[in-house]
Amino acid sequence: MQQFILLLSLLFLHNCSRTFCQSSVQSPTPTKAPVPPPSLAVPTDTIKILLKAGRFLSFVRLMKATQVDTQLFSQLNSSTDGITIFAPNDNAFSSRVAGAVGSLNDREKLEFVQFHILPRFLSISDFQTVSNPVKTLAGSDNKLPLTITTSDNSVKISSGLTKTSISNTIYTDKQVAIYEVDKVLVPKDLFPPAPPAPAPSKPVEESPVVPRDASAGAIIVLHHHLVFFGVGVCIAALVFTL
């Protein structure tokens, strides 16, 4: 019996010491999971928007050929000013306009596409307060004037050679605005007006030319008249002498 009690005492002491040791050991502080960095906003894909609209293929080809699409992606990624695009629809590229644009060199094509893009975001209401001439990605000097006016809820655009207006809002997200126009914006620097045609010269009046045959016939007739006149004079003189 005493041995049994002794055994229980030893087991009790063993359990107490084990519990005391575990409680004395400081539990490790749980580590927090790393917080992922906030995802960066991806710039708006203007090409994708225009292709989805389905009627700007000619303008999209020019944007890709001149790498303006890459320029816009970089600008939207590094600036908060945004952009505004005046996108001519496919009907605006008539055969005459397409031929004129196709005759431009690479630098001129780049300037032509950039002339349709403003380096800041403009809503429809913002056009009421713009200062003319409006700056485009192609510049704002006298060779590339672009003026914008508003009247009766209409936004009118003039390049000096082209006059058009915004016909539809394709896309807007407070950073990118894409507006549809029915005509291509033609800058004076690339498409100067043709000089006026010279006035037709007055034809020189030529003196009438008498045919050789006619002059010869006139001389023969005159000769016969002189002969008859001489004969008549002789006859008259003979009659008076008689």
Q: Residue 140's closest CA among 115, 160, 107, 161?
A: 115
Q: Is 165 helix (H, G, I), strand (E, B) or coil?
A: strand
| pLDDT per residue as tens digits for the range 146-189 | 999 998 889 999 998 899 999 999 999 989 999 999 999 988 77
Contact 76, 82 (CB under 8 A): yes
Angstrom distances, CA of residue 170 to CA of 38, 121, 198, 201: 30, 14, 45, 53
The whole-number pLDDT of residue 192 equals 63
> Percentage of residues in the chain with pLDDT exceeding 90?
48
Residues 6 or more apart whose CB falls under 8 angstroms from that of 51 comprise 57, 60
pLDDT band at 221 (very low <50, low <70, confident <90, very high): very low
* pLDDT the model gives residue 15: 57
Is the separation of the CB atoms in 57 and 90 below 8 Å?
yes
Alpha-carbon gap, residue 18 to 157, rounded angstroms: 88
Per-residue pLDDT tens digits for 195-211: 555 666 665 555 555 55
Q: Looking at residue 31, what is its pLDDT?
A: 60
Contact 145, 133 (CB under 8 A): yes
Q: What pLDDT band is residue 240 in, cutting at 50, 70 and 90?
A: very low
* Model confidence pLDDT, tens digit, residues 115-156: 999 999 999 999 999 999 999 999 876 778 899 999 888 999
What is the per-residue burial (b if ≥16 Cβ within 10 Å, else e) of 69-104? bebbbebbeeeeebbbbbbbbeebbeeebeebbeee
pLDDT, mean over the chain: 77
What's the predicted TM-score (pTM) here?
Answer: 0.65
Kindly provide the residue ranges of all beta strands, DSSP E only, lying in the chain, ordered along the sequence.
83-88, 117-118, 147-151, 154-158, 163-172, 176-181
| Both tokens assigned to 126 | 């913002």
